[in-house]
Amino acid sequence: MLLQILVNGILMGGLYALMAIGMSLIWGVMNIINIAHGSFIMLGAFTTYWLFAILGMDPFVSLAFSIALLFALGYGVQRYLINYVIRASAFITLILAFGIEIFINNAALVSWTADIRKVQVAYGAANFSLGNYVTIPTIRVVAFLLVIVISIAFFYILNRTNLGRSIRATSQDLDAARLVGVDVAKTYAITFGLGVGAAGAAGTLWSILFPISPIMGGELTLKSFVVVIIGGLGSMLGPIIGGLALGITEAFGTNWFGSTYGNLISFTILVLVLIIRPKGILGGAD
Amino acid sequence: MEKKKLQYALIGGFILLIVVLFPLVSNNFIIRFGTDILMFAIMASAWNIIGGYTGYASFGNVVFFGIGGYITAILMEKAGMHFAVAYLAAGFGAALFAVLIGLPVLRLHGHYFAIATLGVAEAMKALVQNLEITEGNSGIYLPMLDLSIKGQYYFFFYMMLGTLILTLLLTYLVLNAKLGYSLIAIREDEDAANSVGINTTLSKTIAFALSGFFTGLAGSIYAYQQAFLKPGPAFSVQTTVKMIVMAVFGGMGKLFGPLIGAFSIEIISETLSNYFLVAHTLFFGTVVILAIVFTPKGLIDMITQRKFGISYFLENIREHRI
């Protein structure tokens, strides 16, 4: 029983981690708190839904489309909108992100209505057992493995490529990066695109596992926040640690106290982590 | 200088007179709309104390609103107290909560403070949803105000107006006292403020408590007006976001900025919802985006600098773009 809860928590935590990776990247590099993050996840989920509903495309194939589409969208939003106010105070970008969130959510509501939808794949209910105690839904394991693959891809891009070096240089010192020839505006746009692309991937996986609707974004933004804070900014490992921590505590918490206490538990942990270790579990001393 | 002050006082007095007399010539719907504007003006101004002047962007100020509302509901419904008592208790209760939560949370800076306060508000919502005394998710009823319909509309309008004037007056007094200078010093450079002998912890906590106090008062009036309170709407993140958007839109760190923001945002969103039944929130999002890109310093900057038009907008973009 305990083992089953732990497994459920870890599998859920993987998805939380993927949701938060993009937010953490955008926040860490550009100091933007992307309130619209959950809305981008929603768009990723709906990309998969429509490709499935109209073309019958398998979600694991449409994953590529939702990442590409969301990357392009994110690139455009940063390049032609956020870059124009990026040097104003952090409030300003935050409120701008809030405006973008309202816009996306309501555009989705107007065009797709508030109906709750689900991607009904044939293999949705398949599962396998480990020993006699633990039942594992196959699809969640596949989703979890994908999370790991995407995280490694992110890690590779940031640490081993020229693009990654430009991104890290820009985040460390904007003026110095510009001096050595980094096209800062473009780097910012690509960074935002990557973060939003990861959100698209999370949305695709979310749409296979849970029902989706245009107003699902707010809750997901909050969850991503919690994960980023628990893990701490500035490391690719942070969101993974944070996601697993949130997934596991939520699984145990709701098992012991009942599901109505889920949010109380996550947010109490959030506040405690902030007070005790303001830079996250992995972060250095304050 | 003296002449200018007199001019401002005259304009201010004139506007106040219009606001005070306005309900007498309006229908109930308009009075109710005015009451809503005043309520958000109180909350945005209260947010301005901690977010605008002190530089601590609270993302959980709605927690004071909810606490004020629930204190009022519990005292009136369960303890049978008069509204006047519950109203004051709501303010002081919210301020006390601000002190208790502020002592640990105000040690955090920037985004971390923002998220911690958001966490406090969300945790509080979840707690209220599960407590017995607040009657959980089913919500709690308050006694109705024993007045005629018209009398009720007047009562809540003038309660909100009075509370708003109190908020602005006290903020003005604080700004001109030593505390106000301490707060602005903290916003500009907290370490420097500390090293010249300002008790930063005390100043920040007082600012947070004041912010909580006024927001709690607004929550109290709101609860009595609604006569029914549920955790979801009472602790909604959207309310906090609205306070911040209004303060930024009007001009934060300015006494009248949040007031102007609350007034214009409410008018804009009401007008849009009159014209566009389905898509009005979509247009509202667009307005927020355009306003942030073209006037990031707030409407009050446009008004006080008397700058309008394309060149002002382009100047802002040149200043902030990359």
Q: What is the pLDDT of residues A164-202, one digit of tens each?
A: 999 889 888 888 988 988 899 999 999 999 999 999 999
Q: Which residue has the tokens 């490992």?
A: A237
Specify the higher pLDDT residue, B295 or A201. A201
For residues A35 and B57, give the distance between their C-alpha atoms in angstroms, rounded to a whole number: 15
| Residue A110 in contact with partner chain B when CB distance is under 8 A | yes
Domain assignment present for residue A223? The answer is: no
Domain assignment present for residue A136? The answer is: yes
Smallest CA–CA distance from B244 into chain A, residue? A95
Output the CA–CA distances (angstroms, integers) from residue B276 to B263, B271, B305, in the order listed.
20, 9, 33
> With contacts defined as CB-CB under 8 Å, which chain A residues touch B287?
99
**Domain ranges for chain B:** 33-258
**pLDDT of amino acid A17:** 92
For residues B176 and B184, give the distance between their C-alpha atoms in angstroms, rounded to a whole number: 11
Specify the higher pLDDT residue, A2 or A18. A18
B208: pLDDT strictly greater than 50: yes
Domain assignment present for residue A40? The answer is: yes
A286: pLDDT strictly greater than 50: no
Structurally, chain A folds into a number of domains equal to: 1
**pLDDT of amino acid B41:** 96
pLDDT band at A272 (very low <50, low <70, confident <90, very high): confident
Residue among A110, A142, A18 at smallest CA distance from A70: A18
For residues A168 and A171, give the distance between their C-alpha atoms in angstroms, rounded to a whole number: 5
**pTM, full prediction:** 0.85
For residues A13 and A32, give the distance between their C-alpha atoms in angstroms, rounded to a whole number: 24
What pLDDT digit, counting tens, does each position of B78-137 carry? 888 999 999 999 999 999 999 999 998 998 887 778 878 988 998 899 899 888 888 888
**pLDDT of amino acid A285:** 42
Q: Residue A270 and residue B116: Cβ atoms within 8 Å?
A: yes
> With contacts defined as CB-CB under 8 Å, which chain B residues touch A263?
122-123, 125-126
> With contacts defined as CB-CB under 8 Å, which chain B residues touch A270?
115-116, 119, 123
Q: Which helix (H) or strand (E) holds B124?
A: helix B110-130
A129: pLDDT strictly greater than 50: yes
The closest CB to that of B320, out of A86, A91, A101, belongs to A86
- Residue B245 in contact with residue A95, Cβ under 8 Å? yes
- Containing domain of residue A158, as a range? 15-216
Closest chain A C-alpha to B257 CA, distance in angstroms: 15
Domain assignment present for residue A62? The answer is: yes
Work out the average pLDDT over A30-59. 93
pLDDT band at A55 (very low <50, low <70, confident <90, very high): very high
Q: Which helix (H) or strand (E) holds A130?
A: strand A127-130
Share the mean pLDDT of chain B.
89
**pLDDT of amino acid A234:** 67
Domain assignment present for residue A152? The answer is: yes
What's at B108, amino acid-wise?
L
Smallest CA–CA distance from B128 into chain A, residue? A264
Q: Residue A274 and residue B108: Cβ atoms within 8 Å?
A: yes
Output the CA–CA distances (angstroms, integers) from residue A48 to A39, A63, A99, A125, in the order listed.
14, 7, 25, 18
Domain assignment present for residue A130? The answer is: yes
